[in-house]
Amino acid sequence: MTTITNISSICTAPADIRLVVVKVETSEPGLTGLGCATFTQRPLAVVEAVDKYLAPFLIGRNVSEIEDIYQSAQLSSYWREGPVLNNALSGVDMALWDIKGKQAGMPVHDLLGGKCRKAARVYVHASGNSIDETVDQAQQHIENGFTHVRLQSAVPGQSTYGTNTDLHTHATIDGPTTPQNVFGPADYVRLAPKLFEVARDRLGWEVELLHDVHERVPPYLAIQLARDLEPYRLFFYEDALPPEEIEYFRQMRQQSSIPIAMGELFVSLKQCMPLIEERLIDYIRVHLSMIGGMTPARKLATICEAFGIRTAWHGPGDCSPIGHAANLALDMVSPNFGIQEFTPYNQATLDVFPGCNNLRDGCIWPNDRPGWGIEINEALAKEFPFPDHPYNGAWPAIRDRDGGIIRP
């Protein structure tokens, strides 16, 4: 029997984004596994959960008992769910799948039933401080072989999600409303259709275009925007409403035929179920580590298949290459795969994580090595510490003109 002998967290930021990777060591010499536990807004809380709570609870356990380890570790805190606990669980869970693949001499996608496709089509991001800048960047992506592009353009003078004006990526001490932390939902809803009008005029109708609201507007404006964007034939309309207001998807479904993607802020399968059961969305796009890792995610993919809902797992820059490998494993085996969000790696990330999946022809390709097929250079990882930040990664507040908080 092979047992867990140590569990530890590795913190690194080769792209200046806080990544947390969990390493599980075993009683079999040289056999280790890696899992993604990245909660970039609260990374140190996850590290504490892994090192001080999960490690002592799980050392000595049989590495083959993935499901039982997941269930018992989740219940060991009595209160369940939440992004801190789930990311800690995900780190261990993914690492155990990595170990199981290495023991079998098989990639994880083979353990899950084998490939349904050769590679996973991805969408990448085009963003700019103006509509023209955004569309120019999209054109570059198309010339580089990408067929699916998400478009985000800044509202002039405002902090706008997904652009260089987004304060979520720039640490700013929160205080009274200033031009740097203001976001006007109505201004944004007026601008977005103009962006897609220009994009369709310049890029044509063969490229698939996407847009992310990031839950930043009230329901009535989200529904209005869904109607306004419908003529531009989006591939999907992403995260229009926060989890607290998902009942409004019924109205959106009634008033627009635009394909809907949702799930980035979900932290449990239960949150997903009303939208799935009522077929109120077309794509599920949870962040795997936020719902607990590979074990719950493969169940979610199967549930969605039964309801005709496709997968579009969250794949931003704050997903480590291990997390992306888990996304790709599910992409490979799911008949209901839709699209994969992906943020290309910089050279430092490729150096820290040898074996990163290859990106070419608008797709990511599995490397077919055992487990995730990716390792980590721990010595090099230490050369990329977390960047200084006044909140240790937390988002500053974005406010409406009256000073009220905008809720993503």
- Token representation of residue 183: 């976001």
User: Residue 8's beta-bridge partner residues?
Assistant: 23
Query: Would you please indicate which residues are annotated as catalytic (active-site) residues?
Result: 161, 214
| Distance from C-alpha of 259 to C-alpha of 108, rounded to nearest angstrom | 30
Residues 6+ apart with CB under 8 A from 20: 9, 10, 11, 36, 37, 38, 39, 43, 46, 47, 50, 87, 91, 320
Beta strands in 97-201 (DSSP E): 120-128, 148-153
- Phi, psi for 367 (deg, rounded to 5): -90, -10
Q: Which residues of 89-104 are buried (b: 16+ CB within 10 A; e: fewer)?
A: bbbbbbbbbbbbbbbe
CB 32 within 8 A of CB 99: yes
Q: If we measure between CA atoms, which residue out of 321, 326, 263, 262 comes closest to residue 293?
A: 326
- Token representation of residue 1: 């029997």
Q: Which residues of 186-210 are buried (b: 16+ CB within 10 A; e: fewer)?
A: ebbbebbbebbebbbeebeeebbbb
Q: If we measure between CA atoms, which residue out of 301, 356, 308 comes closest to residue 332?
A: 301
> Which residue, chain included where needed, has tokens 């932390």?
181
> Which residue, chain included where needed, has tokens 């449990």?
268
